Structure 1
Amino acid sequence: MKQMFACLYGPLFFGGFIGAALYWMATPGAGAGGLLVLFAVALLVSFLAEWGLPYEPLWNRSQGDRLRDCLHALVNESLNAVGLLALPGLVALLAHDGLWPRDWPLWGQLALAIVIADCGITLAHYASHRWAWLWRLHAVHHSVQRMYGFNGLLKHPLHQLLEASAGLLPLLVLGIPLPVAQLLALAIAIELLLQHSNVDMRLGPLRWVFAWAPVHRFHHMKYGRAGDVNFGLFFNLWDGLLGTAFYRHDYAMRQGDLGIGSRPDYPVAYLAQLLEPFRAQHYSAEPRVPEALRRPVRPAAAD
């Protein structure tokens, strides 16, 4: 039974909640309030699944981070709500008429929005590991010592703004309708719950398609540049193109594998994390990469 649950959890969680959201928004008179209810239910299901079938039992225990994670989620989701309220005005200002395929079915419009947003967010994420000033903001997210669904929402507000802009601006230019943008916001929230989940889910061949927790955990390992892998939010396609796809079925990420290895002193409190990117940075030596996590290095081309 547990094996079946582990295999079905990811597809049923993603497909079930996205499908329910599409059904709701297609109902006459439906509004964004129903999507908030769906997210609350998804959050509850995520917590129950993590407690029922945990990948790492220690990650279900608070490490003095629950209040901080709640504050990050509250602030960042509030910013998302403000962005959605401003969306009609932004579309009117930036959009080119007739580009968005409004005659497509709602599910097709959402699929298009997800692919476009995923590309922009993934590239912004990739840049955040390449440019020092972006990394300072992004490091807040990588400071986590455990992975569970809720801490997918743990981001510095400025970094969330930059990352969201990279995903949303192309959609604004295309003239994305508000209901599709609302569905996209829910889809991203659902994906973040899955991507950082502590459920012992088994993906099988789906690991080559979806950037869910068994794949994304390797992105959070604390071993320096070894963690510069698996940048995609929804799909692993972009990592295949960037050459950053990585997965090891024979290595289990556990307590002590996550975080920023060169910053074991990274602050935990919410306000301290907001201020940390603007302070002088002091790094220690990177911990040694376990042999099983080493990636082969291509030899340099001959002159």
Structure 2
Amino acid sequence: MIASGQPWLISGVLIGTALALMLAEAVWPRRRHRMPLLQRWRTHLGFVLVNMPIERGVQALVFIGVFGAVTGYALHPDFGLLPQTGLPFWAQGLIAILLLDLAVWAQHWATHRLPLLWRLHRVHHADRDLDMSTALRFHPLEIGLSMLFKLGVALALGAPLWALIVFELLLAVLPMFNHANLALPLSLDSMLRLVIVTPDMHRVHHSTRRVEHDSNYGFCLSIWDRLFRTYRARPSGGHEAMTIGLADYPGRESMRFGWSMQLPFR
């Protein structure tokens, strides 16, 4: 019952979060938009419509295959690394969420280091503005590879079902939050980024400057960038002056859905 309703739960949280952030961005914007908003959103909606069947298909594999694995329906009940530890079920879940977050950080780092993966990931970075909708802008090939990678990590860990649901909810909500064009009070931002990735922290990652966009890879916990020395507190010229996007494509091409879908093959 939980597994079958999980995709709808995530969709509901996703839509609710998107609407709340759209309102917050309108009331407390961090930067002035450089590109026409509706044209960008139309392209990003195109990515949502293309990626949704891929996401739902892989989610079905996750919550059928993994649920069977950790409950003994498909594999041995002790399948995976975490059940071997003998830790309480709640502790296994917390460790699973922590390690899945680290795995996503490592995957993001790899997309900037491996040329083939960067070809796909630069579709995300081609956006010339940044708001909550940028979190939905990913090439379907990257979405498919990313979800298969998470599936493999979850299976290897033997992650409890409840931990997978919590992690998928975090993965639905927090990227929209840390891509948001949202002006948080600086004191609040400073406190939040001690634990989680804030909009000001992640915005640095979308700079056209290589030294800045090769930093701040996290989506949930900020500890990984601090631990692996990829943390950058702010852009060198300040948030208002920084240029967002790809230096190779300074025009308005990224607002076109067809161009964006073809970008990995250019």
TM range (shorter): 0.7 to 0.9
Matched, 1:234 2:214: no
Q: By percentage of residues, which structure has more helix? A: 2
Residue of structure 1 aligned with 2:89, choices 86, 94, 104? 104
What is aligned with 1:190?
173
What is aligned with 1:122?
105
Moved more, 46-55 or 199-208: 199-208
Q: Tell me, yes or no, if the aligned pair for 1:50 and 1:60 is still in contact at 8 Å.
A: no
In structure 1, how many angstroms separate the alpha carbons of the residues matched to 2:204 and 2:133? 18
Residue of structure 1 aligned with 2:5, choices 31, 37, 62? 31
In structure 2, how many angstroms separate the alpha carbons of the residues matched to 1:133 and 1:275? 14
Q: TM-score, normalised by structure 1?
A: 0.72
In structure 1, how many angstroms separate the alpha carbons of the residues matched to 2:240 and 2:48? 24
CA displacement at 1:179 relative to structure 2: 4.7
Moved more, 223-232 or 178-187: 178-187
Q: Tell me, yes or no, if the aligned pair for 2:109 and 2:217 is still in contact at 8 Å.
A: yes
What is aligned with 1:272?
259
What is aligned with 2:246?
260
In structure 2, how many angstroms separate the alpha carbons of the residues matched to 1:270 and 1:49? 26
Gaps of 5+ in 2: none
Aligned CA distance change for structure 1 residues 95 and 160 (closer, same or farther; 3 Å): farther
In structure 2, how many angstroms separate the alpha carbons of the residues matched to 1:141 and 1:182? 25
Matched, 1:81 2:67: no
Q: Tell me, yes or no, if the aligned pair for 1:194 and 1:213 is still in contact at 8 Å.
A: yes
CA displacement at 1:255 relative to structure 2: 6.8
Matched, 1:218 2:204: yes
Amino acid of the residue matched to residue 171 of structure 1? A
In structure 1, how many angstroms separate the alpha carbons of the residues matched to 2:180 and 2:34? 10
Q: What SS does the corresponding residue of 2:29 show, helix, strand or coil?
A: coil
What is aligned with 1:174?
157
Moved more, 129-138 or 198-207: 198-207
What is aligned with 2:28?
53
Aligned CA distance change for structure 1 residues 213 and 50 (closer, same or farther; 3 Å): same
CA displacement at 1:143 relative to structure 2: 0.4
In structure 1, how many angstroms separate the alpha carbons of the residues matched to 2:181 and 2:88? 39
Q: TM-score, normalised by structure 2?
A: 0.81
Q: What SS does the corresponding residue of 2:54 show, helix, strand or coil?
A: helix
Q: Deviations over 1:23-58 (max 9, x none)?
A: xx7xxx993334432322211111111111111142
**How many aligned residue pairs are there?**
250
Aligned CA distance change for structure 1 residues 133 and 250 (closer, same or farther; 3 Å): closer
CA displacement at 1:61 relative to structure 2: 5.0
Matched, 1:70 2:50: no
